[in-house]
Amino acid sequence: MAQTVDGRKKISEKFIYFFGAFGGILFGYDIGVMTGALPFLQHDWNLEGHPTTIGWITSGVMFGAIFGGATAGMLSDRLGRRKMILASAVIFVVGSIACGIVPNNGTGWLIAMRIFLGIAVGAASALVPAYMSEMAPARLRGNLSGLNQTMIVSGMLISYIVDYLLKDLPHQYAWRLMLAAAAIPALILFLGVLRLPESPRFLIHHGNVEEARHVLSMIRPADQVEAEINEITTTASEEAENHRKVSWGT
């Protein structure tokens, strides 16, 4: 039976790190999936002589990721890392399905949905390392630095496998299913993160010290909880002081 603290179950470190880094799967999948989907899309919509359109469809995710990555940090400081990762997963599910059901020859719609999808990709790629570093104990932070990259390349591998499995379908269905299949790992991410707690660092920054203590008690040995709370509180005070000293004129 799992240990409990104040009625709450202890959370496995492996579970936290796996789903904390799972956002990399989404990034990798969407980078790799167009490799297999694009030839079917070109044939279905007769795009062989339209390189600009193909370029926008292919790079739309990266364009959207610029905005997602730029805004995710600010929003996560206000709303929380966990909530923003959940929101990114929802956007990814919706965007993936929307890419799979675009109207025939709806290039503008597909480009718009790829950009929309990119917002989630950029947000997840910015939030995942922050969340993992705040949840992991200091002794593991260095070892976990490569986990997100591992998830990204795993996502690319999964996309190639999916492309291969769907390659024998009719052209008009193959590329749609390849793109829509990205909703599956996004849904898995959403369900997994639902079981994760908010970052203790975020909670302390917003004055929820008692809730941070509960979270740390679920993921740290009892004798380390207060020491880490004191460390985070001190760091938060220093950051707040430095923030007050900074101005546009400095």
pLDDT, residue 2, reads 44
- Residue 140 burial (C-beta neighbours within 10 Å; 0-12, 13-18, 19+): middle
pLDDT tens, residue by residue, 108-155: 999 999 999 999 999 988 888 888 888 877 777 766 767 878 888 999
Give the model's pLDDT for residue 4.
46
Ramachandran assignment for 6, one of left (phi > 0), alpha (psi -120 to 50 degrees), beta (any other):
left
Spatial distance between the Cα atoms of 8 and 26, rounded to a whole number of angstroms: 30
pLDDT in tens, 12-21: 777 888 887 8
Domain ranges of the chain: 8-196, 204-245
What end-to-end distance do the CA atoms of the chain give, in Å? 56
The β-bridge partners of 5 are: 8
CATH topology of domain 8-196: Growth Hormone; Chain: A; (1.20.1250)
In the chain, the percentage of residues whose pLDDT exceeds 70 is 90
The SS3 assignment for 82 reads helix
Average pLDDT score over the chain: 86
CB 53 within 8 A of CB 47: yes
Which are the contacts of 211, defined by CB distance < 8 A and separation ≥ 6? 198, 203
E strand or H helix at 9, and its extent?
strand 8-9
User: Token match 């926008």: residue?
Assistant: 56
pLDDT score at 3? 47
Q: In terms of pTM, does the model score above 0.75?
A: yes
Secondary structure class of 5 (helix, strand, coil): strand
| Calpha distance 88→109 (Å, rounded) | 20
Q: Please provide the DSSP assignment of 116-183 as one string.
A: HHHHHHHHHHHHHHHHHHHHS-HHHHTGGGGHHHHHHHHHHHHHHHHHHHHTTS-HHHHHHHHHHTTH
Mean pLDDT by 10 residues, the chain (250 residues): 49 80 87 92 91 92 92 90 92 95 93 94 86 80 76 93 95 95 94 90 91 88 88 78 54
